[in-house]
Amino acid sequence: MHLPISDKIELNILHQNSHQAEKNKVKFNNYNLLCLNIMSSPGAGKTRLLEITLEDLSKKFHSAVLEGDMTTNLDAARLEKLNIPVVPITTGRACHLDANMVSGGLKLLEKKINPDSLDILLVENVGNLVCPAEFEIGEHFKVALLSITEGEDKPLKYPIMFREADLILITKVDLLPHLNFDINELKSNIASTNPKADVIEISSITKSGFDLWQDWISKKILKFKNI
């Protein structure tokens, strides 16, 4: 044995994922396809949000979904009823999607449809407020959902998720009259964690806020496509 050698590499632990995420983004850009990474805790309403969103969005834009879930294809089956291309990605024991999984999902999508014909790809991540925040998938924007039943303190408890998000959707606001919940405190906690994020209050029951959300998406697509 020789004397120990110290190799100073200063390498990002996530560099392989970041490298694949960059490759995914190049592909999305070549397809002129805007990609949103939709994240939240389990049960915040991601799938229901997509169901309602896609009903209207599909009238204006060609859309597809990569549907991440640890087990089952239940959410993918719900979205397939909307007659849009949906690719389920079952992560097994992994609590988040990574760039490789999304690359695999994109390859399966390419077998279903030419992505050149699409305007937007919505990626529903696995329900989790921790790991998805650290793993880039090649998305152009990150959207985080937070339902009011989760409590006002979540942006402080899970700051990285809310720091990383470009848009935060406060969901289930139809429940506000029935809960002891201070929405201004929640907004203040969001602002202190991420003052630059856009914030929209939304309800999948009353459909309030969906006009703002759809408008946000439309503007992002049109800007991305330079229209």
Partner 1 sequence: MTKCLILSMEEWAEKKNKKKIVVEKIHLKIGEFTCVEPISLINTFNAAVLGSWLESSKINIETIPFEGKCSKCNRLYFPKKENGYKSPCCNFNLEEIISGRELKIASIDFKEK
Applying CB under 8 A, which residues contact partner 1? 1-17, 130-131, 133-134, 156-157, 159-160, 163, 188-189, 191-196
Q: How far is the CB of 19 from partner 1 (least distance, A)?
A: 10
Considering the complex, state which of residue 72 and residue 188 has its C-beta at the smaller distance from partner 1: 188
Considering the complex, state which of residue 6 and residue 83 has its C-beta at the smaller distance from partner 1: 6
Q: How far is the CB of 106 from partner 1 (least distance, A)?
A: 20
Q: How far is the CB of 79 from partner 1 (least distance, A)?
A: 28
C-alpha pair distances (Å), 168 with each of 4, 97, 142, 148, 201? 49, 19, 9, 12, 9
Q: How far is the CB of 190 from partner 1 (least distance, A)?
A: 10
| d(C-alpha 160, C-alpha 157), whole Å | 9
Considering the complex, state which of residue 112 and residue 157 has its C-beta at the smaller distance from partner 1: 157
The token pair at 223 is 């800007």
Please say whether the beta carbons of 150 and 121 come within 8 A: no
Considering the complex, state which of residue 4 and residue 177 has its C-beta at the smaller distance from partner 1: 4
In 3D space, the residue among 100, 96, 121, 99 whose CA is nearest the CA of residue 41 turns out to be 96
DSSP state of 117: G
Q: Which residue has the tokens 């959902």?
A: 145
Q: How far is the CB of 89 from partner 1 (least distance, A)?
A: 17
Q: How far is the CB of 186 from partner 1 (least distance, A)?
A: 12
DSSP state of 141: E
Q: In whole angstroms, what separates CA 66 from the centre of its chain?
A: 10
| d(C-alpha 178, C-alpha 201), whole Å | 16
Please say whether the beta carbons of 201 and 209 come within 8 A: yes
Half-sphere exposure of 100 (CA within 13 A, CB side): 6
Q: How far is the CB of 23 from partner 1 (least distance, A)?
A: 16
Considering the complex, state which of residue 108 and residue 130 has its C-beta at the smaller distance from partner 1: 130
The token pair at 187 is 């907004």
Considering the complex, state which of residue 29 and residue 100 has its C-beta at the smaller distance from partner 1: 100
Considering the complex, state which of residue 10 and residue 178 has its C-beta at the smaller distance from partner 1: 10
Strand order in the sheet with 141-147: 86-90, 63-69, 120-124, 34-39, 141-147, 167-171, 198-201
